[in-house]
């Protein structure tokens, strides 16, 4: 019988140490500058590409790690370095996951390489799902995709918001409504190739945290894409919509009756443990800063860690971080080995890790006192960055809803 272990193997340790070195030597020295500039850190992405960190090959290797730990390990180390820069480096991955979750093998092979470019010509990609009136409520999505059978083209119209790399990306993956009567089950994902007429960047957001990551609206005005840009193909879409309509008729309500794959939700379900790993990385970074400060800062003639009020906080911080990591690793292992999330384990990992990051970074500021409130120390930036984890890719409230409905057997709409 195989021995149970939570130890990383030697290959994984080498990758982890390599990523940690990049995060420590390249990302951290640049973090404050790009946070202040609120711009995409192209030089850092370029350096990551030259080293092979920002590449299709690297992420494919981690994605296909048979233990499932390659991606969460990568995310934790990069986000330990800096969340804003890290999101600029890994943001393309959400669009790639959207293609992997919904596309054919040919589409995966065609479009994902174009999302990254190469070390001499770096590209980024964007996943566009949220809208001004449809964030958590994906059933309220208004962006429409209409099929022009005569030209075998899809015509997209609408506005997307909160899109990482939106407008500056080469390839955009856009979720749109193809059958409004089916609610969230009437959605499909489309590739919008580089330089497609009608796609433009709207408002660029000035954010509380992760400010080195570009976030903007994407406006689609009569954007025409070839039929082969429908992820999964039209035959598969028609089959899925027919099943959804039949279930809606049998249940007596549009969009009701059983679960049918939804394009946006399929992407989020696949990526939630990775977001949890991002949160673990930020929490760990703040904890380490607080621990070092507490062991070197003296008050009343002794290090402040000698005070139980500080020591107990650090004990709780470390315990919560380790628990969050274990939840993330479990969900990642389950996803890789094909075990279903019967208790919404993916959402559990994202919920607990994101809430842990917010709490731990706030405790780090408290331990550093006035220094923690200044930009001279990185915990202030980490705390601002951590706020996003309980919001994007499903708020904490949505995660709790998913978990509760999964446990109760109610449909997740």
DSSP string, 188-222: EEEEE-TT-TTEEEEEEPP-SS-TTS-EEEEEEEE
How far is the C-alpha of 394 from the C-alpha of 239, rounded, in Å? 28
Pairing of strands 215-226, 199-204: antiparallel
Cα–Cα distances in Å, from 403 out to 58, 322, 397, 412?
32, 21, 10, 9
Pairing of strands 199-204, 187-192: unpaired
How far is the C-alpha of 291 from the C-alpha of 313, rounded, in Å? 10
Active site residue 47: no
Q: Are 282 and 87 in contact (CB under 8 A)?
A: no
Range 47-64 burial, b when 16+ CB lie within 10 A, else e: bbbebebbbbebbeebbe
Q: Which of 76, 131, 269, 393 is catalytic?
A: 393
- 310 backbone φψ class: left, alpha, beta (φ>0; ψ -120 to 50): alpha
What are the residue numbers of the active site?
393
């Amino acid at each position: 019988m195989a021995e149970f272990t939570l130890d990383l193997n030697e290959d994984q340790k080498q990758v982890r140490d390599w990523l940690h070195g990049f995060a420590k030597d390249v990302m951290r020295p640049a973090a404050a500058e790009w946070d202040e500039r609120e711009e995409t850190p192209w030089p850092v992405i370029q350096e990551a590409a030259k080293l092979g960190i920002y590449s299709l090959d690297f992420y494919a290797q981690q994605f296909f790690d048979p233990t499932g730990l390659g991606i969460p390990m990568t995310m934790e180390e990069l986000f330990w370095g800096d969340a804003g820069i890290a999101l600029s480096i890994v943001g393309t991955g959400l669009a790639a996951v959207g293609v992997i979750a919904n596309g054919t093998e040919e589409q995966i092979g065609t479009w994902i390489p174009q999302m990254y470019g190469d070390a001499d010509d770096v590209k980024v990609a964007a996943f566009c799902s949220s809208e001004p009136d449809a964030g958590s409520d994906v059933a309220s999505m208004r962006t429409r995709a209409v099929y022009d059978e005569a030209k075998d083209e899809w015509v997209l119209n609408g506005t997307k918001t909160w899109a990482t790399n939106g407008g500056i990306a080469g390839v955009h993956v856009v979720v749109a409504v193809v059958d409004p009567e089916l609610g969230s089950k009437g959605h499909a994902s489309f590739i919008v190739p580089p330089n497609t007429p009608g796609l433009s960047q709207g408002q660029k957001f000035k954010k509380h945290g992760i400010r080195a990551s570009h976030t903007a609206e994407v406006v689609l005005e009569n954007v025409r894409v070839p039929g082969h840009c429908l992820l999964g193909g039209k035959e598969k879409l028609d089959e899925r919509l027919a099943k959804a309509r039949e279930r809606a008729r049998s249940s007596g309500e549009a969009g009701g009756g059983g679960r049918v794959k939804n394009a946006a939700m399929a992407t989020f379900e696949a990526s939630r443990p990775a977001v949890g790993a991002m949160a673990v990385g930020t929490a760990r970074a703040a904890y380490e800063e607080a621990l070092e400060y507490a062991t070197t800062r003296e008050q009343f003639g002794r290090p402040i860690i000698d005070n139980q009020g500080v020591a107990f906080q650090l004990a709780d911080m470390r315990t919560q971080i380790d628990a969050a990591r274990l939840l993330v690793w479990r969900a990642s292992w389950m996803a890789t080995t094909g075990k279903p999330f019967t208790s919404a384990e993916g959402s559990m990992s994202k919920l607990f890790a994101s809430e842990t990051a917010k709490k731990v970074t706030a405790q780090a500021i408290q331990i550093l006192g006035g220094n923690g409130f200044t930009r001279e120390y990185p915990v202030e930036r980490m705390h601002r960055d951590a706020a996003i984890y309980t919001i994007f890719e499903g708020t904490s409230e949505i995660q709790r809803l998913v978990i509760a409905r999964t446990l109760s057997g109610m449909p997740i709409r």
